[in-house]
Amino acid sequence: MPHLLRQNMLLPNPPTVVMHDPRTHLRHLPPAYSPAQTPLSRERDFAPQVRYNLESPRKPKFRPCKVIFVGDCAVGKTAIVNRFCFDKFQSNYKATIGVDFELINFSILGHNYSLEMWDTAGQERFKCIAGAYYRNASVIVVTYDMSKRDTLESAKKWLHSALNYNTSQKPLIFLVGTKADLLTKEEFVRMERLAGLVAAELQAEYWSVSARSGFKVTEFFQRIAGLAFEEAVKQELKSIKNNPKETATQSSVKSQTFDLRSFFSSRFSPQKNGCAC
Ligand SMILES: Nc1nc2c(ncn2[C@@H]2O[C@H](COP(=O)(O)OP(=O)(O)OP(=O)(O)O)[C@@H](O)[C@H]2O)c(=O)[nH]1
């Protein structure tokens, strides 16, 4: 997959880099799903001070942005990550054991920027270890299944648990409805209306997507990357203002390299088929 790097902790693949992939090469802030409704940014493009800062000769290095996907089991968290990262869709349900992890490299306004995607398990039996991978999230994606209304009702609970581990910073929050392909037009409109109310309550930006058809998946990930990048630049500007001697290089952090797969496999026996939550 061009310009995308799969971060498999046991068997890392060598990165393949192709410049100017339109999916990961961003020059403008991608628009919100519903620009009239988003609480995250009313700007139509990157803020002028962000562009100005990036034009300076100093090349800031940004730490990878941690994005966590939470939501009931089998709502389609893994499916949307796989659709974007590998352009593939699997109709067989295979429960996530603990957590899966992918790293995606973007080029935004000429700067490298990565999203760490933490696709967490929705099954009840993994909840006790949630804190291990919810912490320090810059973006929380609360996912629900548009064809199952009860999964929308759980959204508040999932966000609450994720925020409990992220009290020191204010993450960007998205509410995402999946499996849009399973609904009739009328059902789709009805569900979006309901979900819009929940999103407003959660202070989240709302998106409807389908991993099966690919509907709005690319636009959604581009939006996450664009907004998170802008936030990272603003944070950097703030820290330079507060602490002029500190350089961007000092504040950059290398991506995490601990072996999550063996951590989980040593604690949980894999349960492959069927949703046990
Ligand atoms: N029709 C349709 N099915 C989907 C879509 N996305 C996911 N599915 C199916 O829904 C099931 C669950 O998808 P997953 O992505 O594994 O769900 P998950 O939220 O990661 O589940 P956990 O790992 O248990 O938390 C699978 O059978 C997928 O094929 C979609 O957009 N459309």
pLDDT tens digits, residue range 145-190?
999 999 999 999 999 999 998 877 889 999 999 999 999 999 999 9
Q: How far is the CA of 89 from the centre of ligand 1 (A)?
A: 9
User: Which element (helix H / strand E) includes 260?
Assistant: helix 260-265
Q: Which amino acid, 66? A: K
User: Which element (helix H / strand E) includes 113?
Assistant: strand 111-120
Nearest CA owner, ligand 1 atom 30: 179
Task: Indicate if the pLDDT at residue 58 is higher than 70.
Answer: yes
Q: Which two tokens stand for residue 44?
A: 């139509």
pLDDT attached to residue 198:
97
Q: How far is the CA of 260 from the centre of ligand 1 (A)?
A: 22
Residue 50 in contact with residue 26, Cβ under 8 Å? no
pLDDT attached to residue 20:
76
Cα 244-250-254 angle, rounded to 5 deg: 150
The DSSP bridge partners found for residue 173 are: 140
Ligand 1 atom at minimal distance to the Cα of residue 79: 15
Confidence of residue 257 (pLDDT cuts 50, 70, 90): very low
**Long-range contacts of 212-218, Cβ-Cβ distance < 8 Å, separation of 24 or more:** 212/79, 212/89, 212/91, 212/179, 212/181, 213/180, 213/181, 214/83, 214/87, 215/180, 215/181, 216/33, 216/180, 217/80, 217/83, 217/84, 218/23, 218/84
- Residue 126 phi, psi (nearest 5): -100, 0
Residue 162 in contact with residue 155, Cβ under 8 Å? no
Ligand 1 is surrounded, with C-beta below 6 A, by: 71, 73-79, 90-93, 95-96, 121-123, 178-179, 181-182, 210-212
Nearest CA owner, ligand 1 atom 21: 74
Distant-in-sequence, close-in-space partners of 245: CB < 8 Å, separation ≥ 6: none
- 5-36 pLDDT per residue, tens: 444 444 445 455 555 788 999 999 999 999 88
Mean pLDDT across 28-54: 90
- Quick check: helix, strand or coil at residue 45? coil
CATH number of 65-240: 3.40.50.300
Q: Which two tokens stand for residue 140?
A: 């929380």
pLDDT attached to residue 248:
46
The DSSP bridge partners found for residue 107 are: 25, 112
pLDDT attached to residue 252:
43
Nearest CA owner, ligand 1 atom 5: 179
Distant-in-sequence, close-in-space partners of 253: CB < 8 Å, separation ≥ 6: 63
pLDDT attached to residue 240:
74
Classify residue 5 as exposed, middle or buried by CB count within 10 Å of its CB (0-12, 13-18, 19+). Answer: middle
Q: How far is the CA of 247 from the centre of ligand 1 (A)?
A: 43
Ligand 1 atom at minimal distance to the Cα of residue 277: 24
pLDDT attached to residue 267:
52
Counting ligand 1 atoms within 8 A of each CB, the residue from 75, 207, 271 with the most, and so the one to mutate, is: 75
Task: Indicate if the pLDDT at residue 50 is higher than 70.
Answer: yes
- 201-232 pLDDT per residue, tens: 999 999 999 999 999 999 999 999 999 999 99
Residue 169 in contact with residue 138, Cβ under 8 Å? yes
User: Which element (helix H / strand E) includes 141?
Assistant: strand 139-145
Q: What rounded mean pLDDT belongs to the chain?
A: 84
Task: Indicate if the pLDDT at residue 85 is higher than 70.
Answer: yes
Q: How far is the CA of 3 from the centre of ligand 1 (A)?
A: 25
Distant-in-sequence, close-in-space partners of 270: CB < 8 Å, separation ≥ 6: 97
Residue 137 in contact with residue 69, Cβ under 8 Å? no
- 90-133 pLDDT per residue, tens: 999 999 988 899 999 999 998 999 999 999 999 888 877 766 78
pLDDT attached to residue 249:
46
Nearest CA owner, ligand 1 atom 27: 93
pLDDT attached to residue 37:
87
Number of Cβ atoms within 10 Å of the Cβ of 153: 13
Mean pLDDT across 221-245: 87
Alpha-carbon span 85 to 8, nearest angstrom: 13
